[in-house]
């Protein structure tokens, strides 16, 4: 298993309950795909470096996890089709 880090930005209109539900959804994708979660860090609402689709801020979430190389591809696919995810990135920490 390899170590990965993902940061995703949720739409600022999400309330605390919706943010928690989104985090649990992505944690479930990782765990159901055979991965293990090392750390989940909710950074909260922050201003974006630049405007995206007329939005100036978003809720940032950092997740560190371990998984097989196929899992980040599936996680990326789910990030892309999930409403409310403004941006995301998945980084392999072992290089």
Given a cut of 90, whether residue 28 has pLDDT beyond it is: yes
Confidence of residue 94 (pLDDT cuts 50, 70, 90): confident
**Residue 9, token pair as written in the block:** 């930005």
What integer pLDDT is reported at residue 4 of this predicted model? 95
Q: Which residues pair with 92 in a beta bridge?
A: 4
Domain 2-92 is in which class?
Answer: alpha beta
| Sheet of strand 55-67: strand arrangement | 36-52, 55-67, 2-10, 85-92
Q: What is the pLDDT of residues 62-81, one digit of tens each?
A: 999 999 999 999 999 999 99
**What residue segments make up the domains of the chain, in order of their start?**
2-92
**Residue 50, token pair as written in the block:** 């630049």
Task: Give this prediction's pTM.
Answer: 0.90
Q: Is 57 within 8 Å of 46 (Cβ atoms)? A: yes
CA distance 81 to 59: 18
């Amino acid at each position: 298993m390899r170590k990965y880090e993902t940061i995703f930005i949720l739409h600022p209109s999400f309330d605390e309950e919706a943010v928690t539900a989104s985090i649990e959804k992505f944690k479930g994708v990782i765990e159901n795909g055979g991965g293990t979660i090392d750390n989940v860090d909710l950074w909260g609402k922050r201003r974006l470096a630049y405007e995206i689709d007329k939005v100036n801020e978003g809720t940032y979430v950092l997740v560190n996890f371990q998984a097989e190389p196929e899992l980040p591809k599936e996680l990326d696919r789910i990030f892309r089709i999930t409403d409310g995810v403004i941006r995301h990135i998945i980084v392999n920490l072992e290089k």
